[in-house]
Structure 1
């Protein structure tokens, strides 16, 4: 006779009605309570009901008619409901009790842990004591549900959740079900697991995966940098003590951009005859 395990859905026989709820037969000499707060209908002795088995807050086996988003035999995108640095993160699965994703399965750095509202693709697992825990999807399981991108995706904006962080960058699963990679050089934030990121498709690979960038295309970036410099000049009496000969540190201190980007932006403004450079300064051209 199969032993009923928490984390799965079963159709069980109603043995009797009690003050607290319905006592169900586990068919192995054991019983489980379907609390009236977890029951969706009224049942007679001898009837049957489909329930999900889990452990309640006191570690006792319990039943609910609410079928969660994920089970031992399935995977789903689960939202982070809470964070406890001593234990891990709690995932909302659709029932009253959240599922713990252990700190042992999370990055070593707390900075890379998911925040409340982030989403991770996860299943369930039982530990050696028979307790339910969240189980992050493997790379193979992510690939199984992924779709191959086509050239039509190139240069399109997309968004997706981070499912893996490595030394080179992050892997995300996009809304179009594509697997995307964002190199560290193309990130504009310090990423965390489960975080939703928006990015542009910079390259479609032969294997159907995509390379993503959170940065604007170069020609767009040039224009944005030039506009920042132009506005700075307008707000500072039409001049600044910086030119294309200034040091990288001076430029970064004022504009938080590289010297190369600064020179490109100045070149654009000079070509448009909006500025001139004289005696170590840059002036608006009136």
Structure 2
């Protein structure tokens, strides 16, 4: 079956004045216009193409690659707004349509928008939507704490940056975990720091340090989390106090908190140690 809005590997069936017709394993055919036909080819050669609808709503193939494909997110520029909706430049001859009802905010010509491309079942057309949250679901998570994930910056909020996680889930990078400039549509590597009630994902941009450091540091962090982010201990505390609270030597304690401090995971104060981002 020829997949609309995606790449297809098809065979060259026959040549015509307008181009070559391609065929799939189910005998479905689509035209590849002359300007995309390879200079040298043979009948039954295989070719990788993207299939979408032309200006007359007929399936057509191209060897070009759009900026976004069906079932994916992408940052696109709005080229024009008409009485029907907005048209977005996605790198192909025919632009991608975004209806007014699929615009999170009214689009303007020249503006850049993060959108999701999908097949409208009512019209059988490829369309865009800037209401990206409608295409994310956190009910059944496919990630767990400390996983490395691919993220796309969606939009800022008072708490930080909302992000799209692995093109499936929504997540949040808290302000105090942001150490560089972020713009809408930026793609980055992230890590699942915590899964909160309701399957809310806390994401960080740097690898979570205590997954790769000594077990004592791991134990201190877990103890901090169990004590609302504070322990009445520091490097001046007595060996007995440290042993009673953590069941470890003062030497190992100092080494562990030194590592955590360098990782910017804790603050060391005269009254004790604090877990960063412990809200």
Partner Cα separation in structure 2 for residue 174 and residue 17 of structure 1:
42
CA contact (8 A) 1:16 1:44 kept: no
- Tell me the TM-score normalized by structure 2: 0.50
Aligned equivalent of 2:34: 36
Where has structure 1 moved over 6 Å in runs of 4 or more? 173-178
Kindly report the root-mean-square deviation, in angstroms, between the aligned alpha carbons of the 2 structures: 3.1
Aligned equivalent of 2:69: 71
Match runs of 1:67-216 below 5 Å: 67-84=65-82, 86-106=83-103, 112-127=105-120, 128-136=122-130, 137-138=132-133, 140=136, 142=154, 143-145=163-165, 148-149=173-174, 151=176, 153=178, 158=181, 160-161=183-184
Aligned equivalent of 1:8: 6
Distance 1:151 1:116, change over 3 A: same
CA contact (8 A) 2:103 2:129 kept: no
For these two proteins, the number of residue pairs brought into alignment is 162
Partner Cα separation in structure 2 for residue 66 and residue 131 of structure 1:
19
Give, in angstroms, the shift of residue 175 of structure 1.
8.7
Give, in angstroms, the shift of residue 40 of structure 1.
4.9
- Tell me the TM-score normalized by structure 1: 0.49
Partner Cα separation in structure 1 for residue 187 and residue 25 of structure 2:
43
CA contact (8 A) 1:14 1:44 kept: yes
Distance 1:40 1:99, change over 3 A: farther
CA contact (8 A) 1:100 1:133 kept: yes
Partner Cα separation in structure 2 for residue 79 and residue 177 of structure 1:
24
Give, in angstroms, the shift of residue 18 of structure 1.
1.5
Aligned equivalent of 1:18: 16
Secondary structure in 2 matching 1:114: coil
Structure with larger Rg: 1
Unaligned runs of 5+ in 1: 162-172, 179-206, 210-286
CA contact (8 A) 1:159 1:175 kept: no
Give, in angstroms, the shift of residue 39 of structure 1.
3.3
Give, in angstroms, the shift of residue 159 of structure 1.
6.4
Secondary structure in 1 matching 2:164: helix
Superposed CA deviations along residues 206-256 of structure 1, whole A, max 9, x for unmatched, are x569xxxxxxxxxxxxxxxxxxxxxxxxxxxxxxxxxxxxxxxxxxxxxxx
Aligned equivalent of 1:275: none
CA contact (8 A) 2:102 2:128 kept: no
Partner Cα separation in structure 1 for residue 177 and residue 28 of structure 2:
57
